[in-house]
Amino acid sequence: MSLMVCPLASGSSGNAIYIGDEKNKILIDCGLSGKKTEELLQSRGSSCSELDGIILTHEHSDHIKGAGILARRWKLPIFTRPGTWGAGGEILDSIPTSQQKLLLSGLSFGKIEIDFFHLSHDAAEPVGLLIRWGKNQVALVTDLGEPSPELEKRIYGSDVLIVEANHDPDMLASGPYPHFLKKRVRGSHGHLSNDDCGLLLSRVLNEKPVQVYLAHLSEQNNDPQIARLTVENFLKGKGKDSGVKIEVASRYCASFPFELL
């Protein structure tokens, strides 16, 4: 038996991550249309009908857009924090009450165990996730303004890290965003830059091999090659590049999956 980890889409146009083994399958975030989500799941050998549930990290539309339609169509339970339910508007309000589940403590789907931790982001109650499967651990950290020592402690030594590398500071500074939006993005409740991502990774990697997905890249203020090279060079400079495999999570299609044994 193995566990597949696969970002289906990543960015402000929609986010979704598939995690599943032979018996249990979950979706983390659902910021795509129902049709697109089903297409991407099928491209990875699964389908919405096989999902045990959907976990939402926060209420921004690029993370919840398709949650209502999938919940109603496939009778799926949706798990998220109380603050997210309260701030989710019509999309989350449209989910039948019986399928609205509070994420108050850890969850288990067969061998897949899920815990959460709070993030610094401009949402009601945003969380990052830890997924444990046997001795393996997957950490999801996106939509983060700044990491905390507690966050670093929680995700240290993970086997798979899905971490935000949202923007290149120079591209953001010279780009088309208005001043208030630039200030939001680079603020403590905004998004991690490529440099911040590299610094975070350098603090949480240990000596074992690790798969890293750089996630939630800005379409206007970043470039996949720049993000990858920035993080790779940062880790190399810190002597933390040994055994690290880096992929940039795709914006519009499923990324290359990683399997834990």
Reported as a single tens digit per residue, the pLDDT across 177-203 is: 999 999 999 999 999 999 999 999 999
Q: Which of 252, 197, 253 is nearest to 226 (CA)?
A: 197
Q: How many CA atoms lie within 13 A of 110 on its CB side?
A: 15
130-134 contacts: CB < 8 A, separation 24 or more?
Answer: 130/154, 130/155, 130/158, 131/5, 131/19, 133/3, 133/21, 133/260, 134/260
Look at residue 207 in the predicted model and tell me its pLDDT. Answer: 86
- Taking the C-alpha atoms of residue 82 and residue 217, their distance in angstroms, rounded to an integer, is 28
- Taking the C-alpha atoms of residue 130 and residue 113, their distance in angstroms, rounded to an integer, is 8
Contact 260, 136 (CB under 8 A): yes
140-144 contacts: CB < 8 A, separation 24 or more?
Answer: 140/17, 140/28, 140/57, 141/200, 142/10, 142/15, 142/57, 142/215, 142/216, 143/57, 143/58, 143/60, 143/63, 143/119, 143/191, 143/216, 144/119, 144/120, 144/191, 144/192
Tokens of 192: 């991690």
Instruction: State whether residue 4 is helix, strand or coil.
Output: strand
- Taking the C-alpha atoms of residue 50 and residue 211, their distance in angstroms, rounded to an integer, is 26
Look at residue 231 in the predicted model and tell me its pLDDT. Answer: 98
Contact 58, 127 (CB under 8 A): yes
Look at residue 151 in the predicted model and tell me its pLDDT. Answer: 97
- Taking the C-alpha atoms of residue 168 and residue 223, their distance in angstroms, rounded to an integer, is 8
Instruction: State whether residue 132 is helix, strand or coil.
Output: strand
What residues in the chain have per-residue pLDDT under 70?
none
Mark residue 25 as left, alpha or beta (left: phi above 0; alpha: psi -120 to 50; beta: remaining). beta
Q: How many CA atoms lie within 13 A of 49 on its CB side?
A: 2
Q: What domains lie within the chain, and their CATH numbers? A: 1-112 (3.60.15.10), 135-250 (3.60.15.10)
pLDDT tens digits for range 198-228: 999 999 999 899 999 999 999 999 999 999 9
Q: Give how far the C-alpha of residue 61 lies from the chain's centroid of Cα atoms, to the nearest Å.
A: 14
- Taking the C-alpha atoms of residue 193 and residue 172, their distance in angstroms, rounded to an integer, is 10
